[in-house]
Amino acid sequence: MLKIPPRTGPKPVTTPCAPHTQISQNPDSLSYQAFKERAFDFPFVTRQPSRISVPGAEALCLEHGQGCGCREAFMIGNEFAHVHPPEDGSLHMMLPEDAVPKIVDLGWAEPHPMATAGMIPLTAVMVYAPRDNAEIGTVLDLLRMSYDFACGRLGRVDSIAL
Protein backbone atom coordinates (compact mmCIF):
# COMPACT_ATOMS: atom_id res chain seq x y z
CA MET A 1 0.00 0.00 0.00
CA LEU A 2 1.31 3.45 -0.98
CA LYS A 3 1.63 6.01 1.82
CA ILE A 4 1.99 9.60 0.63
CA PRO A 5 2.79 12.13 3.36
CA PRO A 6 1.56 15.72 3.23
CA ARG A 7 3.91 18.18 1.49
CA THR A 8 5.24 20.83 3.86
CA GLY A 9 4.99 24.54 3.28
CA PRO A 10 2.92 26.60 0.88
CA LYS A 11 2.33 25.50 -2.68
CA PRO A 12 4.66 26.95 -5.30
CA VAL A 13 3.57 29.69 -7.66
CA THR A 14 2.63 28.30 -11.07
CA THR A 15 1.35 29.79 -14.30
CA PRO A 16 -2.44 29.67 -14.70
CA CYS A 17 -2.36 28.56 -18.34
CA ALA A 18 -0.32 26.63 -20.87
CA PRO A 19 2.58 26.37 -20.81
CA HIS A 20 1.90 25.26 -17.25
CA THR A 21 5.11 26.08 -15.39
CA GLN A 22 6.31 26.11 -11.77
CA ILE A 23 7.90 29.50 -11.13
CA SER A 24 8.83 29.35 -7.43
CA GLN A 25 10.31 26.72 -5.11
CA ASN A 26 12.30 25.33 -8.02
CA PRO A 27 14.87 22.65 -7.20
CA ASP A 28 18.57 23.30 -6.93
CA SER A 29 20.71 21.62 -9.58
CA LEU A 30 21.79 18.74 -7.29
CA SER A 31 18.21 17.84 -6.32
CA TYR A 32 17.09 18.10 -9.94
CA GLN A 33 19.89 15.80 -11.13
CA ALA A 34 19.35 13.33 -8.29
CA PHE A 35 15.66 13.10 -9.19
CA LYS A 36 16.27 12.71 -12.93
CA GLU A 37 18.85 9.97 -12.36
CA ARG A 38 16.03 7.83 -10.94
CA ALA A 39 12.94 9.14 -12.75
CA PHE A 40 13.46 7.14 -15.93
CA ASP A 41 14.40 3.88 -14.21
CA PHE A 42 11.18 1.94 -14.86
CA PRO A 43 10.97 -1.24 -16.95
CA PHE A 44 9.91 -0.70 -20.57
CA VAL A 45 10.17 3.10 -20.29
CA THR A 46 12.02 5.10 -22.89
CA ARG A 47 13.34 8.61 -22.37
CA GLN A 48 12.73 10.99 -25.23
CA PRO A 49 11.86 14.62 -25.91
CA SER A 50 8.27 15.34 -24.93
CA ARG A 51 5.88 15.66 -27.86
CA ILE A 52 3.51 17.88 -25.88
CA SER A 53 5.58 20.00 -23.49
CA VAL A 54 8.06 22.86 -23.62
CA PRO A 55 11.45 22.48 -25.34
CA GLY A 56 13.83 20.56 -23.08
CA ALA A 57 11.11 18.54 -21.32
CA GLU A 58 11.88 14.82 -21.25
CA ALA A 59 9.07 12.32 -21.62
CA LEU A 60 8.54 8.96 -19.98
CA CYS A 61 7.05 6.77 -22.69
CA LEU A 62 6.13 3.12 -22.57
CA GLU A 63 7.66 0.89 -25.20
CA HIS A 64 5.29 -0.35 -27.90
CA GLY A 65 2.93 -3.00 -26.54
CA GLN A 66 3.51 -2.15 -22.86
CA GLY A 67 0.80 0.50 -22.40
CA CYS A 68 -2.33 -1.31 -21.31
CA GLY A 69 -3.90 1.54 -19.35
CA CYS A 70 -6.96 3.49 -20.43
CA ARG A 71 -6.71 6.46 -22.80
CA GLU A 72 -6.78 8.84 -19.80
CA ALA A 73 -3.46 7.34 -18.62
CA PHE A 74 -1.58 8.99 -21.50
CA MET A 75 -0.95 12.55 -22.59
CA ILE A 76 -0.16 11.83 -26.21
CA GLY A 77 0.81 8.56 -27.84
CA ASN A 78 2.62 6.46 -25.24
CA GLU A 79 3.78 9.45 -23.12
CA PHE A 80 2.39 9.22 -19.58
CA ALA A 81 4.60 11.81 -17.86
CA HIS A 82 7.31 14.34 -18.55
CA VAL A 83 9.91 16.21 -16.51
CA HIS A 84 10.26 19.92 -17.20
CA PRO A 85 13.68 21.56 -17.73
CA PRO A 86 15.84 22.40 -14.68
CA GLU A 87 14.73 26.02 -14.30
CA ASP A 88 11.20 24.66 -13.60
CA GLY A 89 11.77 21.10 -12.33
CA SER A 90 8.11 20.11 -12.03
CA LEU A 91 6.45 17.23 -13.84
CA HIS A 92 3.21 16.66 -15.62
CA MET A 93 1.80 13.19 -15.24
CA MET A 94 -1.41 11.28 -15.57
CA LEU A 95 -2.86 9.82 -12.37
CA PRO A 96 -6.07 7.86 -11.76
CA GLU A 97 -8.93 10.36 -11.58
CA ASP A 98 -9.96 9.39 -8.06
CA ALA A 99 -6.37 9.87 -6.83
CA VAL A 100 -6.09 13.43 -8.15
CA PRO A 101 -8.06 15.23 -5.40
CA LYS A 102 -6.21 13.26 -2.72
CA ILE A 103 -2.78 14.17 -4.12
CA VAL A 104 -3.88 17.81 -4.51
CA ASP A 105 -5.19 17.89 -0.91
CA LEU A 106 -1.85 16.54 0.32
CA GLY A 107 -0.13 19.49 -1.38
CA TRP A 108 1.90 17.60 -4.01
CA ALA A 109 0.08 18.60 -7.17
CA GLU A 110 -2.48 20.75 -8.89
CA PRO A 111 -4.79 19.96 -11.78
CA HIS A 112 -3.52 20.98 -15.18
CA PRO A 113 -5.37 24.19 -16.22
CA MET A 114 -6.45 22.54 -19.48
CA ALA A 115 -7.97 19.66 -17.47
CA THR A 116 -9.87 22.14 -15.31
CA ALA A 117 -11.15 23.77 -18.53
CA GLY A 118 -12.34 20.39 -19.84
CA MET A 119 -9.87 20.31 -22.74
CA ILE A 120 -7.85 17.29 -21.57
CA PRO A 121 -8.64 14.46 -19.12
CA LEU A 122 -9.02 15.24 -15.42
CA THR A 123 -6.20 12.76 -14.85
CA ALA A 124 -3.60 15.38 -15.93
CA VAL A 125 -1.75 17.05 -13.06
CA MET A 126 1.37 19.06 -12.35
CA VAL A 127 3.41 17.47 -9.58
CA TYR A 128 5.66 20.01 -7.93
CA ALA A 129 9.42 19.71 -8.20
CA PRO A 130 11.06 17.81 -5.34
CA ARG A 131 13.08 20.13 -3.09
CA ASP A 132 15.14 17.54 -1.16
CA ASN A 133 15.88 13.81 -0.89
CA ALA A 134 12.71 12.99 1.07
CA GLU A 135 10.59 14.77 -1.54
CA ILE A 136 12.44 12.97 -4.34
CA GLY A 137 11.20 9.69 -2.85
CA THR A 138 7.61 10.90 -2.67
CA VAL A 139 7.61 12.31 -6.20
CA LEU A 140 9.08 9.01 -7.44
CA ASP A 141 6.20 7.22 -5.67
CA LEU A 142 3.74 9.44 -7.54
CA LEU A 143 5.59 8.78 -10.79
CA ARG A 144 5.35 5.04 -10.04
CA MET A 145 1.57 5.49 -9.66
CA SER A 146 1.45 7.19 -13.07
CA TYR A 147 3.55 4.37 -14.54
CA ASP A 148 1.27 1.70 -13.02
CA PHE A 149 -1.78 3.58 -14.36
CA ALA A 150 -0.24 3.61 -17.86
CA CYS A 151 0.60 -0.10 -17.58
CA GLY A 152 -3.03 -0.89 -16.74
CA ARG A 153 -2.27 -2.00 -13.19
CA LEU A 154 -4.54 0.53 -11.50
CA GLY A 155 -8.24 0.99 -11.73
CA ARG A 156 -9.66 2.82 -8.77
CA VAL A 157 -7.16 3.68 -6.08
CA ASP A 158 -9.42 3.63 -3.03
CA SER A 159 -7.02 1.23 -1.30
CA ILE A 160 -4.10 3.65 -1.51
CA ALA A 161 -3.48 5.27 1.85
CA LEU A 162 -3.29 8.90 0.89
Kindly calculate the radius of gyration of the chain based on its CA atoms and give it in whole angstroms: 14
For residue 53, tell me if it sits in a domain: yes
Q: Which helix (H) or strand (E) covers residue 132, if one does?
A: none
| 123 lies in some domain | yes
pLDDT tier for residue 155 given thresholds of 50, 70 and 90: low
Structural domain contains residue 1: no
90-123 per-position pLDDT tens digit: 999 999 999 999 999 999 999 999 999 999 999 9
pLDDT of 156 above 60: no
- What is the pLDDT, as a whole number, of residue 150? 95
SS3 98: coil
Domain count, the chain: 1
The reply to whether 3 falls in a domain is no
Residue-wise pLDDT for 61-96, tens only, equals: 999 877 787 899 999 999 999 999 999 999 999 999
What ranges make up the beta strands (E) of 4-148?
A: 45-49, 58-62, 79-83, 91-94, 109-111, 124-127
Q: Is residue 54 in some structural domain?
A: yes
Distance CA(29)–CA(11), nearest Å, equals 20
Q: Is the pTM of this model over 0.75?
A: yes
Residue-range definition of the domain harbouring residue 106: 29-150
Name which of 32, 4, 59, 47 is nearest 130 in CA terms: 32
Q: Kindly report the CATH number assigned to the domain that includes residue 143.
A: 3.90.1150.30
User: How confident is the model over 9-65, as pLDDT tens digits?
Assistant: 999 999 999 899 999 999 999 999 999 999 999 999 999 999 999 999 999 999 987
Domain membership flag for residue 110 = yes
